[in-house]
Amino acid sequence: MTTLNKLLLATALMLPLASQATAQIKIEGLHVWTSEGEVKALKVITDKLATMGFEWQDSAVGGANGANAQQALRTRVAAGNPPAIMQFLGYEGLGWAGEGALRSLNDLYAKNGWEAALPPVMLQFVKHDDEFFATPINMHRQNWVWANKAVFDKAGITPPTSWEELIASGEKLKAIGVVPIAMSDEAWQIEEIFEAMVADVNGPDFYKKAIIDLDETALASPEMVKVFDLLGQVRGLHDAGFTGRDWAAATNMVANGQAGMQIMGDWAKGEFLAKGMKPGVDFLCFPTPTATPNYKFLMDAFGGFKIEDADVNKGQDAVAEAIMDPEVQIAFNMIKGSIPARIDVSMDGFDDCAKRSFADRAEAIANNAMWGSVTDGFAVEPRFSGVFGDVVGKFFVTDMSSADAVQALVDGINNAR
């Protein structure tokens, strides 16, 4: 008997033992997390699942801002082989719930009192009619400004209190040879600035009316023209090489001191932290300037497809319970850079930006000033949010007038209705 054969035999004899030790129910999850930090964060959930007796089968489909995963999901559902667990971004989950494809989590929500633990605005993305179909793990904030502290000090500027001041500070940054705003000509990066302006300049109620309710009078109003006027002033504040720049490359320009600031969601924070920079010391995080504080969110939620298999259903329940576990939410979000979806957890141990986000969220909930981000797909269905990107992206790179842009917006939205 060769050594190899001995080894094989030994392994074969060990197998029954090994499989007994991990006689776990397998549960498959399709998601879009492929970057190092995301994978590490997901491991918090899957480790918890393992202690509950379930083995996570990972199906990660990255790329194209989640479009590849959506395509994979559509193909699998069409083939009658949906994944047990699916990550839902924006309206994706509501769409499937509307098709009656998702399993209800009402019993779990009722038993654990989860409804009260989540921000009310968030519920609309995990509930269709009266059926809860998903559980949220985290929340990102969209309307942040990320700034390089040393550059701000050198230019003699402090965090601005209005968009006019922010745009004016651009001249001071230019004077010391720094690019005022790090950005790209990609439509969505311009839209991040645009949507912050809509709520900051005209207030969160206007944002709700124009962008979430798609009210035609609000969309065509002079207030909207004003927003485009303001956005037009940002045209001179970027560098020539902004074509097709990745958001993380723009964040790095701020981190390196080549640029003064970036308007981006709090996923940008990870780039600073990865360089060992500290919030408040090396870089600044502050909400986009406004007289009417507001909070724009996006989130990650997981739901399960209807599958006739008791074991799979147990696993789907276990995933929901693991996700809503306060300890899991805390550990997950410390790695991911977002804040827990639950409003009843302690923020001790988080960094200052996350603490600020958590405190601002509580205030926004109280003031009814919290709405989903349109750029990231949490304000309106994709066929409408796409129109905002089209118009804003075109407006910024051409000499389109504000009035024409507003008209294009109204026409585009009406066409998609």
Partner 1 sequence: MPRPIPLSERFANWLPRLVLTPSLLIVLVAVYLFIAWTGWISLSSSKIVPKYDFVGLEQYFRLWSTPRWHTAVANLFIFSTLFLGVTTGLGLLMAILLDQKIRAEGALRTIFLYPMALSFIVTGTAWKWILNPALGVQKMVNDMGWTSFVFDWIAQPTFAIYCVVIAAVWQSTGFAMAIFLAGLRGIDNSVIKAAQIEGAGLPRIYRSIIVPMLRPAFLSVIVLLSYVAIKSFDLILALTGTGPGSATEMPSTFMYSATFRRDQMGVGAASAMMMLMTVAAIIVPYLYSELKENRDGH
**Separation between Cα atoms, residue 286 and residue 263, nearest integer Å:** 10
- Given candidates 109, 144, 302, 395, which one binds partner 1 under the rule CB under 8 A? 395
Tokens 């776990």 locate to 24
Binding flags for partner 1, 26-65, as an x/- string (CB under 8 A)? ----------------------------------------
Name the region of 181 (left: φ>0; alpha: ψ -120 to 50; beta: rest): beta
Return phi, psi of residue 284, to 5°.
Answer: -110, 145
- Given candidates 99, 107, 165, 171, which one binds partner 1 under the rule CB under 8 A? 99
Looking only at the bridges linking them, the beta strands covering 144-148 and 54-60 are unpaired
Only one of the segments 141-149, 151-159, 164-172, 235-243 lies at the binding site for partner 1 (rule: CB under 8 A); that segment is 235-243
Only one of the segments 71-79, 133-141, 294-302, 318-326 lies at the binding site for partner 1 (rule: CB under 8 A); that segment is 71-79
Q: How many residues bind partner 1 (CB under 8 A)?
A: 36
* Closer residue to partner 1 (CB): 1 or 78: 78
Beta-carbon contacts of residue 45 (< 8 Å; ≥ 6 apart): 56, 137, 319, 322, 323, 328, 332
Q: How far is the CB of 211 from partner 1 (least distance, A)?
A: 16
Binding flags for partner 1, 352-381, as an x/- string (CB under 8 A)? -----------------------------x
Alpha-helix runs per DSSP H in 22-146:
36-51, 67-78, 92-98, 106-112, 114-117, 120-123
Only one of the segments 24-32, 33-41, 47-55, 394-402 lies at the binding site for partner 1 (rule: CB under 8 A); that segment is 394-402
Q: How far is the CB of 410 from partner 1 (least distance, A)?
A: 13
By CB under 8 A, residue 79 contacts partner 1: no
* Closer residue to partner 1 (CB): 14 or 397: 397
Nearest to 287 by CA among 159, 195, 156, 379: 159
By CB under 8 A, residue 95 contacts partner 1: yes
Q: How far is the CB of 153 from partner 1 (least distance, A)?
A: 26
139 neighbors 340 (Cβ within 8 angstroms)? yes
Q: Facing residues of 29 across strands?
A: 58, 85
Interface positions, 161-190, toward partner 1 (CB under 8 A): 185-187
* Closer residue to partner 1 (CB): 358 or 396: 396
Q: Name residue 72's amino acid.
A: A
188 neighbors 195 (Cβ within 8 angstroms)? no
Interface positions, 242-281, toward partner 1 (CB under 8 A): 242-244
By CB under 8 A, residue 404 contacts partner 1: no
By CB under 8 A, residue 71 contacts partner 1: yes
Return phi, psi of residue 104, to 5°.
Answer: -75, 140
- Given candidates 50, 52, 60, 77, which one binds partner 1 under the rule CB under 8 A? 77
Q: How far is the CB of 392 from partner 1 (least distance, A)?
A: 9
Q: How far is the CB of 244 from partner 1 (least distance, A)?
A: 6
* Closer residue to partner 1 (CB): 92 or 325: 92
Q: Name residue 163's amino acid.
A: W
**Separation between Cα atoms, residue 221 and residue 230, nearest integer Å:** 15
With 0-12 / 13-18 / 19 or more C-beta atoms within 10 angstroms meaning exposed / middle / buried, residue 38 is: buried
What does the block give as tokens for 365? Answer: 């909930």
By CB under 8 A, residue 396 contacts partner 1: yes
Q: Facing residues of 304 across strands?
A: 85
* Closer residue to partner 1 (CB): 253 or 339: 253
Nearest to 201 by CA among 170, 161, 260: 161
Nearest to 142 by CA among 26, 305, 263, 316: 263
**Separation between Cα atoms, residue 200 and residue 179, nearest integer Å:** 23
- Given candidates 394, 401, 403, 407, which one binds partner 1 under the rule CB under 8 A? 394
| Contact set with partner 1 (CB under 8 A) | 67, 70-71, 74, 77-78, 91, 95-96, 98-99, 185-187, 239-244, 381-383, 386, 390, 393-398, 408, 411-412, 415-416
